[in-house]
Structure 1
Amino acid sequence: MGTRIKEVITTVILVTATWLSAAIPARAQSASEQNVDQGVSGVRVQIDNDLFAGGENDRDYTGGFAVTISGDAARDGLLSLDPLLGRIDGLFTRPHSVHYARQFGLIAFTPADITSSQPLHDDRPYASLLFMSNGRVNVDTDGRGAWSSSMTVGVLGLSMTSDLHSAVHELVGSEPPAGYDNQISAGGEPTARYTLARHHLWIANPSATMDVKTTVQGSVGYLTETSAAISMRIGRFNTPWWSFAPELTDYIGAPVPVAERTNPAPEFYLFTGARVKARAYNAFLQGQFRDSAVEYSYSQIEPIVAEVWIGVVTQLFEQTQISYTLNYQTAELREGKGARDAFWGGVQVSHNF
């Protein structure tokens, strides 16, 4: 392994370890909130890549990496966004049975031709986001409805994305990306996003072999949109329906708590779903306040985007699961080379304590 790759991997480990070590209790729990996940109740690591979808394409949403922790340590850690998230949520919901999550991650987008160092004005722009997010799931008293929300802050356009992307390509022996100097908000620009979703469990058979739920979501920030989704899982499962939320994914997995199984039997199930989004703003295509070498106006992006996904979850060890998801999304641009559908795959490993 090359020295550069070692440095990149070491940096990722150190940053992740520092963030996890900061997730220590820092405030008292509100009397109106019933937290059922004490300490660090679970950890999830996710890697997305378009190569996981088959073929050799390296474009559009090319990949992402995220680490999520669950429990009151996720709520109370240093620099936690949960106090702000709780205040905003209080305008819309009343806390009941609240589960907490915190996520740290990086996502990247590229045009189809990554060998050119020149701006490609007929394709999607390079873009990246390094982010930190807090999430909540608030389950209704009857157990058939839930609210989920998240607050995310991050930085667009950091040069470290180019270094990490190049290191991965060096590792697999492919051409490094040459155009990150032209990415959205190149040099760095802060950004943020708030999301709120309402979930309803439609079908839950007594044998716990199938459930179906619907979700309506809205968000304001670097992605401003509304959406409606339906998702289903079939097989053998014993985790709560609200903890399974592929419909909240916007490129990388949302900060959803890692739930404990209700019995020790191993899980194995298939899942699928679909989502339609009405999008008003996408910073990864339109940029923010800073000028970018390649960016698009609202009239050039698709206002309606559809997604479909299919995947599988299985047990690795007694407290550890692995899942694979294949995602399809319709084009986000109306014309040019960037007006194409996108595919990517995601692998998640989750562990309960």
Structure 2
Amino acid sequence: MRRPRHLSALCLLVVAGVCQAATDSAFTLTVENDKFTGSDNNYTNGVGLSWSSGDIASYEEGSLPRRWAELWDFLPRVANEDFRTYASWTLGQEMYSPDDITLANPPLDDQPYAGVLFVDNTFHVRRNRWGHTWNVRLGVVGPASQADNIQTWVHDLIDTDEPRGWDTQLPNELLLNLDYSAGYVWRTGEVGKSFTWRLIPNGSVSLGNYFTGVSAGLHAEIGWNLSDALGMSTLRHGISTATTIGAGPQDHWSISFFAGGTAFGIAHYLPLDGTLFRDSRSVDSKKLVGLITAGMSIRRGPFVLSLAQTYFSKSFETEREGAEFGSLSLSWYF
């Protein structure tokens, strides 16, 4: 299958953008895997490589980041002089598998095999206590994602069960998803002379054949030399660069602990509900799903290391075991 032109073009933009990067631009590598929590089902693995810009206004007129932001300035607040605008791109892959991967023909009422390969084009806009994020996801689900070959190779490398059911995976289908999210620094305070904390309500709305729905949640963070970046997000929610947006290299050690809960109202979720334009395996996703995430971030100089654990409530009626996974994210400012 030919790789979509949009994916190639955005990858080239990422490379070109790095060459014109401002001081606070960063690379981020994120790995999510359910083996971190001792399970191997549902959302089983995610990998993302991201580049995020500094404040777009810090780039020269005519530079690629400035021109790219100007192409999207029809979005509310993007490239507005009253707001700080940051751009990021993520190349990512996700894998989903049923409870028993040793079966060549998994039960029809279990999580279908699915592989997703995508590029996220994201704009983060900030002013005072408000943060807004616009994301466009382009990608493909199905054998073209190469998730089957990669998972089989990794399981052979680490000498664990071979996933035998990839012949039943969701078929090839192009993906397009639009997402908007917002967060507000609602409360801040101090604990003694060294620690500060903040509470951030957030919400989102998404439309597309990957995910259509809404969410609302609350994020809490406490730390020593707490950074201005707004915590950590997961690949599943489309923003894997949140630990670098609005912050730069730290001259001193910074350590923070964060936790949050989110409720999702779901109309369509591809990994469970299947493809929209072709027949595929599917299970009916529950209309209301919750998750909790907890973790920590460590910052020093140009590096940021974040670790997190995420747990989901039951996402479909016949689910054998609740989905859970761990996340590891490493960022480097340059």
Give the TM-score normalised by the residue count of structure 1.
0.79
1:287-333 deviation line (CA, Å, top 9, x unaligned) = 221111x213xxx3210000001101123x52112111000001111
SS in 2 for 1:165: helix
Alpha-carbon separation, structure 2, partners of 1:257 and 1:272:
14
Structure 2: which amino acid aligns with 1:349? L
Q: Assess, with a 3 A threshold, how the Cα gap between structure 1 residues 194 and 113 changes in structure 2: closer, same or farther.
A: same
CA contact (8 A) 1:64 1:108 kept: yes
Alpha-carbon separation, structure 2, partners of 1:23 and 1:320:
20
Alpha-carbon separation, structure 2, partners of 1:65 and 1:58:
16
CA contact (8 A) 1:44 1:68 kept: yes
Tell me which of 94, 107, 113 is aligned to 2:94: 107
Alpha-carbon separation, structure 2, partners of 1:39 and 1:21:
18
Q: Assess, with a 3 A threshold, how the Cα gap between structure 1 residues 223 and 271 changes in structure 2: closer, same or farther.
A: same
Residue of structure 2 equivalent to 1:11: none
**Post-superposition offset of 1:237:** 3.5
SS in 1 for 2:184: strand
Tell me which of 121, 129, 136 is aligned to 1:151: 136
Tell me which of 292, 303, 328 is aligned to 2:287: 303
Alpha-carbon separation, structure 2, partners of 1:83 and 1:112:
46
Residue of structure 2 equivalent to 1:161: 147
**Post-superposition offset of 1:120:** 2.1
Residue of structure 1 equivalent to 2:27: 43
Tell me which of 316, 329, 332 is aligned to 1:348: 329
Structure 2: which amino acid aligns with 1:318? G
Q: Assess, with a 3 A threshold, how the Cα gap between structure 1 residues 130 and 85 changes in structure 2: closer, same or farther.
A: farther
SS in 2 for 1:348: strand
Gaps of 5+ in 2: 1-6
Gaps of 5+ in 1: 1-14, 29-36
The yes-or-no answer on 1:125 pairing with 2:112 is yes
Tell me which of 30, 38, 49 is aligned to 1:67: 49
Alpha-carbon separation, structure 2, partners of 1:24 and 1:94:
20
The yes-or-no answer on 1:201 pairing with 2:193 is no
Where does 1:1-353 land on structure 2 (aligned, <5 Å)? 19=11, 23-25=15-17, 38=22, 41-53=25-37, 55=38, 57-71=39-53, 86-87=73-74, 89-90=75-76, 95=80, 96-140=83-127, 143-158=128-143, 160-185=146-171, 188-205=172-189, 209-221=196-208, 222-242=210-230, 244-246=231-233, 250=236, 253-256=239-242, 258-259=244-245, 260-261=247-248, 263-287=250-274, 288-292=276-280, 294-296=281-283, 300-315=284-299, 318-334=301-317, 336=318, 338=319, 340-353=321-334
**Post-superposition offset of 1:285:** 1.3
1:113-171 deviation line (CA, Å, top 9, x unaligned) = 1111114202110111100011111112xx11121111110000125111100111112
**Post-superposition offset of 1:254:** 3.5
Q: Assess, with a 3 A threshold, how the Cα gap between structure 1 residues 77 and 180 changes in structure 2: closer, same or farther.
A: farther
Alpha-carbon separation, structure 2, partners of 1:20 and 1:351:
20
Q: Assess, with a 3 A threshold, how the Cα gap between structure 1 residues 154 and 77 changes in structure 2: closer, same or farther.
A: farther
Query: How many matched pairs?
Result: 311
Q: Which is richer in strand?
A: 2
Residue of structure 1 equivalent to 2:3: none
**Post-superposition offset of 1:255:** 4.7
Alpha-carbon separation, structure 1, partners of 2:239 and 2:125:
18
Structure 1: which amino acid aligns with 2:215? S
Over the residues paired in the alignment, what is the CA RMSD in angstroms?
A: 3.1
Identity of aligned residues (%): 21
Query: More deviation in 260-269 or 221-230?
Result: 260-269
CA contact (8 A) 2:249 2:302 kept: no
Give the TM-score normalised by the residue count of structure 2.
0.83
Residue of structure 1 equivalent to 2:4: none
CA contact (8 A) 2:32 2:328 kept: yes
Q: Assess, with a 3 A threshold, how the Cα gap between structure 1 residues 81 and 118 changes in structure 2: closer, same or farther.
A: farther
Structure 2: which amino acid aligns with 1:134? N
CA contact (8 A) 1:145 1:200 kept: yes
CA contact (8 A) 1:48 1:344 kept: yes
SS in 2 for 1:24: helix
Alpha-carbon separation, structure 2, partners of 1:73 and 1:94:
10
SS in 2 for 1:184: coil
Structure 1: which amino acid aligns with 2:50? T
